[in-house]
Structure 1
Amino acid sequence: MRRCSLPLLFVALAGCGRSPGADNEAWFPLQAGHRWTYVVTTRSGPDASERESLTLRTLGRETLVLDDKTAWVRRSDSGISYWLRADDTGIVRVASKSDMQADPVADSPGRFVLKAPFAVGTQWQASTTTYLLMRTHEYPRELKHSHPNIPMTYQIEAVADEVRTPAGSFSPCLRVRGSATVRVFVDPISGFKDQPLTSVEWYCRGVGLVKMERSEPSTSPMLVGGTRTLELEAWQ
């Protein structure tokens, strides 16, 4: 199966003049021609559940007009493109663009996807927003409109996990946990409280992201929380 051959390919390339960041790319492939299809399961509140499919493709390297330097391009079938670079510091997202935007928007400074060294304890910070927390009655319901940039701290918790997905079993895998809080008005009695946001991601050598779990719980009657799980279904 391909998941066995790709790690061997990276080992072979390592012995012939690899570029800076090549070892880091083994955990997050950037070269053109890769494709990942995920099953995405979203649960909102105690009962509602939704399943959908998401596909990401690598399109190759191009010159980014924002700084006239080359970057690797990824494209999601949800309508978003990402520009990334790899070097000895890790994998960095430098820009993104939705289909509703005319030009790429720079991440300033660059946003780490994975920060080197890939060892237990490595930490970094990047902004996030709320994807699942919603107000029960107010409009707009989504909290992301009022809290677009929430600092989340990421940490590598493990470097040799084995992960099972619909696409098969993968190992070794980095396990990365992201933790943040967002302060919101929960009800007239409690007032403002910090609501936890948690993300756990698994990046496997030679494959990239194979699984992600997002949790945004709520016990307030004025807020609806939820979970979202992304699992690799197929890739090449």
Structure 2
Amino acid sequence: MNRRRQTAISLAAALLSGLLVYGVYLLQLKQIHLQETEEVVVAKQFVETGTKLRPEHLTKLALPRSAISPGMMTELSEAVGMETSVPLGSNEPLLRWKVDKYRLLPHEGQSTFQIPREYVKSISNGIRAGDEVVVYLSDAGTTSRRLFEDPIRVAGVKTAANLEIDNPKNPNLLSMASDDKEAMYASRRDANGTIDTINLNLSEEQWLSLDSACKGGTAKLIVAFRASSIKEDER
């Protein structure tokens, strides 16, 4: 009887020892896995340009360390409250250059330029601060062309009385920040004036190109509203 008891105790001890070793092994595997991956901030679903990021827009995803770049955000608190400068795809890692806190301010290498009235032939009336526009050059002596390949950020649009064009009861920027497309559309319809001057965020090279093209007086700018600034969901 004693021998059987000792055998049972030995077997139980061996089993417990095996389970302990296996548990340590699993913990080591988990530790190695954690060391080889790191969580980064990603978009839960498609996020449009100009959206103010909220916690429900974001989640975290573990990626291999070899796939992580220095520009990726790793903390949700760093991303919440930022505005998207470009669209974000589902599960796309959030890169710092794709978001901005103050979208109306010029980026690095840019300045805000008020475009002289005599340079402008027409400005789309739907343009508001924070929008992206396409700038064309119209010249009777040559073929009209697009002046800049990339869209340009609007820093401000004002009336002849130097008032920012907007709907005071429903500011466009607040609607844009909350991603309320209906309110954005309404604010563009119920504006408080007609655009007299427009301020654009341009690089030095872009401004010099624009000034050189228009200062002779024969070429004029056509500033067109870019549809992606207030894009409806695809149906």
- TM score, norm. by length of structure 1: 0.28
Q: Which has the larger radius of gyration?
A: 2
Q: Give the helix-richer structure, 1 or 2.
A: 2
Question: Could you say which structure has the higher strand fraction?
Answer: 1
**TM-score, reference length from structure 2:** 0.28
